[in-house]
Structure 1
Amino acid sequence: MPPELNLQISPRTVQQEAVGKLRLAIFSGLFQPGTRLVESQLCAQLGISRPSLREALRSLEAERLIEIIPNRGPSIPSLSWDEAVAIYEVRELLEVEAAGRCAARIPPEQLQALERSLAAFAQAASSNDSMARVTTAAEFYSIILANCGNPVLEELHRGLLARISFFRGRSMSLEGRAEGSLAEMTELYKAIANGDAKAARKAARQHLTRAKAAARKSMDL
């Protein structure tokens, strides 16, 4: 007789789902920088209790996607261009090196996964689904980082992922930027597929340079 399986959903699962939904809403631009988040409205929208919401908000605060100010409550921070520059500088240090290392060592099955993620991004780029653009681009880079052969490098990048995705969502809101990203990511994929570490580093650096310029433009609008 098979053992009994406990299918009850735990509050932790509810909290994690709430974090995911709110994170995507921030990335997609549903909540603009400077927007105050009203807890009662969020509870109604998400269908969760206030304690579960507050746990989710604390997680987002740790990712620096929201700020919780005493006597004011949670809001979306207005990130400065200096903060954006710092993020892009660190991205360049991590992603350019990861791309080169990945080109030299990625196994065939992971290269196929990278190709599928690029195809998923291509589909998202041709749609108006801003969330899909952000998540599929993140998946593409997560495969590169996971196959760079340096778990510390991957861990450091993961710690920045939320803020990277925030700026990625901003830059891809510009007309034509998603298509530009697709062309740049395709060049990066080709370099990795060819095992060309030098070309992979060059493609990754070019992509970041153009992404940074797009983010600058989006913050000026």
Structure 2
Amino acid sequence: MTSIDLRVSPKTVQQQAVEKLRGAIISGMFKPGDRLLEAELCDLLGVSRPSVREALRSLEAERLVSLIPNKGPYIPILTWEHATEIYQVRAVLEGEAAALAAGRSSAEDIRAMRAALQEFEQSVQDDDAAKQVSSTARFYEDLFRLSGNRIIEETLTGLLARINFMRGKSMSMPGRAKVSMQEMVAILDAIEAGDSEAARRAAVYHVEQAHQSAEKAWQDHAGQ
């Protein structure tokens, strides 16, 4: 299991517990099908069992955790049909988010997003899958924020979290990470130019290509 510091400070324990567990799930520390043992989570987080249970209930509402009677909490396993639906919704919402961001970005915003892409490029050279996912997440956090639409931001953040494990598998396909970099640069270039329709097209194309790569990764895994 990947070593991640999950301990929280006494202040805002409940919210920190949720954020720490969400981050562990998104980072891949906990993978689809993994059971989440309350006693182990109490030790990792340094909080009480009631706090862990409340955190798990919050994450269940986000569909990052499933709570099954008599079985306990676990990380849900995504079907390919469900994943396809998520990619379809992503294409629509990310296209809209990019189009909205094209009219709202500042020079500072662009610098921050380019920094995330530079980190992504370095992680590709280093073959660091975890850094690839985290730098991509930073890029999209800024993109969604720039859309100025909190519903789009909240919805997409939840959708990406639910398929993050699959995104990592997709990115591991030969050549995909470098192509993904080019696609994200195209999105950012259009946003910087203030071209809403070009940003929309670039964002939709990126999701469609990611979907195809994820499908290939899924098929390869199923054939093993």
Give the Cα–Cα distance (whole angstroms) in 1 for the partners of residues 179 and 62 of structure 2: 28
- Structure 1, gaps ≥5 residues long: 1-7
Paired AA for residue 101 in structure 2: C
* Cα deviation code 1:51-77 (max 9, x no counterpart): 222222222211111101111111111
State the TM-score, normalized to the length of structure 2. 0.80
Partner residue of 2:10? 9
Q: Is the 8 A contact 1:63 1:162 kept in 2?
A: no
Indicate if the aligned counterparts of 1:138 and 1:165 stay in contact, CA closer than 8 A.
no
Q: Distance in 1 between matches of 2:23 and 2:150?
A: 26
Residue 70 (structure 1) aligned with residue 69 (structure 2): yes
* Counterpart position of 2:215: 216
Aligned to 1:34: 33
Moved more, 28-37 or 137-146: 28-37
Q: How far is 1:151 from its partner?
A: 4.1
Contact kept, 8 Å, 1:27 with 1:134, in 2: the verdict is no
1:92: how far off?
A: 0.9
Contact 2:31 2:165 in 1 (8 A): no
- State the Cα distance separating 1:136 from its structure 2 match: 2.2
2:67 equivalent to 1:58: no
| Structure 2 stretches lacking a partner, 5+ long | 1-8
- Residues 160/179 of structure 1: CA separation in 2 closer, same or farther (3 Å cut): same
- Partners of 1:173 and 1:95 in 2: CA distance: 22
Q: 8 Å contact 1:66–1:74 — kept in the other structure? A: yes
Task: Give the Å deviation of 1:217.
Answer: 2.7
Deviates more, 1:96-105 or 1:204-213: 96-105
SS at match of 1:105: coil
1:172 is aligned to 171
Find runs of 4+ consecutive structure 1 residues off by over 4 angstroms.
Answer: none
Q: Which amino acid aligns with 1:30?
A: M
* Cα deviation, residue 89, structure 1: 1.2
Once structures 1 and 2 are overlaid, which stretch shifts more, 158-167 or 192-201? 158-167
Equivalent residues in 2 for 1:192-207, closer than 5 Å: 192-207=191-206
Task: Give the TM-score taking structure 1 as reference length.
Answer: 0.81
Answer whether contact 1:98 1:145 (CA < 8 A) is retained: yes
Whether the 8 Å contact between 1:34 and 1:78 is mirrored in structure 2 is yes
SS in structure 1 opposite 2:77?
coil
Look up the equivalent residue of 1:154 and give its one-letter code. E
**Residues in 2 aligned to 1:210 and 1:197: alpha-carbon distance in whole angstroms:** 20
Structure 1 residues 174, 21: CA separation in 2 closer, same or farther (over 3 Å shift)?
A: farther
Q: Do 1:146 and 1:154's aligned partners in 2 also have CA atoms closer than 8 Å?
A: yes
Distance 1:48 1:127 in 2: 36
Shift of 1:149: 4.2
* CA pair 204-86 structure 1, distance change in 2 beyond 3 A: same
Q: Which residue identity is paired with 1:59?
A: S
Give the corresponding residue for 2:96.
97
Question: Structure 2: how far apart are the matches of 1:104 and 1:126?
Answer: 33
Matches within 5 A, 1:93-172: 93-172=92-171
For residue 3 of structure 2, what is the aligned residue in structure 1? none
Secondary structure at 2:50 match in 1: helix
Structure 1 counterpart of 2:21, one-letter code: L
Secondary structure at the residue paired with 1:74?
Answer: strand
- Equivalent residue number for residue 4 of structure 1: none
Q: Which amino acid aligns with 1:86?
A: E
Cα distance in 1 for residues equivalent to 2:213 and 2:65: 23
Aligned residue in 2 for 1:19: 18
* Residues 1:187 and 2:210 aligned together: no
Percent identical residues? 49
Distance 2:19 2:172 in 1: 20
